[in-house]
Amino acid sequence: MSRALVTGTVAALRRCGGLPSPRQCSLPPSCSTLSWSASSLGLPQPVALPRRCVSLSALMRKKQQFGDFDLVLPAQVTREDVHALVPKHIERPPYFDSGVVLDPPSKIDIKTKHDIVKMRAAGQLARKALDYAGSLVKPGVTTHEIDAKVREFIFAHNAFPSPLNYMGFPKSICTSVNNIACHGIPDARELLEGDMINIDVTVYLGGFHGDTNRSFPVGQVDATAVKLIQTATQALQLAIAVCGPDRPFSDIGSVVGPSGFAINYRLVGHGIGRHFHEPPNVLHYDNSLPLKMTPGMVFTIEPIIHEGKSKTTTLEDGWTVCSLDGGRAVAAEHTIAITDTAYEILTDLPTEASPSS
């Protein structure tokens, strides 16, 4: 689940070696603006409010340049009592009861080897839940149905779905279809043949979060959709390959680079651990920030790739980020730990050994 930068954040990162200054913002920090002082923020507006703040006619005109697919303007979200959903024996993150997120550390939290063991368990469970979610993707299924089944899968493994009531988010996973770039809220819309969907899963297990996402085709998709998904996967692989101790974070942005599609500049990866979102931010585009990776750092890499321009807007629900030109967007994400000699992909499964560890 990505973060997003606001104007001036890059300068702030440069001044303090990769860490942002606290900022006041009007929307949840994980979707539209950056803040390390989250407890000062209000919760998102109820999702029952209108979810469209962009012109449908303008989007339809712009979307025509990208081909024949369904332009998604999210459907009604089924409201649920989130507190009634969670079995009593499941460990809940500190923000769950109130929806208010505690301030994360102001400095990068270096994990111990024991912490990494716990984060590996959380990451591998997140990956299993994502694989399960992907198996449910087919025409006629609603994202609400996928959300409910994945939530029960996570509970069955004695873990908690991290997005649930995080800053008031009403569901357990994010489902972003076609022109929705990220943080789509599962709803009543049925998936259609030819759609693309990104599913973002984060679990809380043993006091730590594990975060991963992937984009899936719905039935048969066009050639551009196939290339978009391949490009996002390749960008993630290239970014992971340059990770290791003493490597600058700017190397990630250097290798993601041009691909015939646009990279999203607003949405970035993030540190992760005891907090869902921690320092540092991980930029997926060319930059000269000096911060270097050190053993014990754990963070996500999650480039978002657009078939059109990368400009986005956030809908009135305070979460759903959609492209302004109606073009489709895809993403891919892993949680990475820096080791003494290289890196480990914590959201890989044991049968998929990391290329370096």
Residue 302 annotated as binding site: yes
Q: What are phi and psi of 204, to 5 degrees?
A: -115, 115
Tokens of 184: 């789509």
323 vs 24, 151, 282, 306, 353, CA distance in Å? 24, 28, 21, 8, 35
As a whole number of angstroms, the distance between CA 93 and CA 90 comes to 10
Which residue's entry shows tokens 């200054």?
A: 21
Residue 270 annotated as binding site: yes
Return the closest-CA partner of residue 2 out of 343, 244, 293, 282: 282
Residue 334 annotated as binding site: no
Residue 325 is classified by DSSP as T
Reduce the DSSP state of residue 22 to 3 states and report it.
coil
Residue 251 annotated as binding site: no
Residue 277 annotated as binding site: yes
Reduce the DSSP state of residue 304 to 3 states and report it.
strand
**Roughly what angle, to the nearest 10 degrees, separates helices 143-156 and 113-135?**
140
Give the residue numbers of the binding site for a divalent metal cation. 200, 211, 270, 302, 333
Residues contributing to the annotated binding site: 183, 200, 211, 270, 277, 302, 333
* Binding site feature residues for substrate: 183, 277
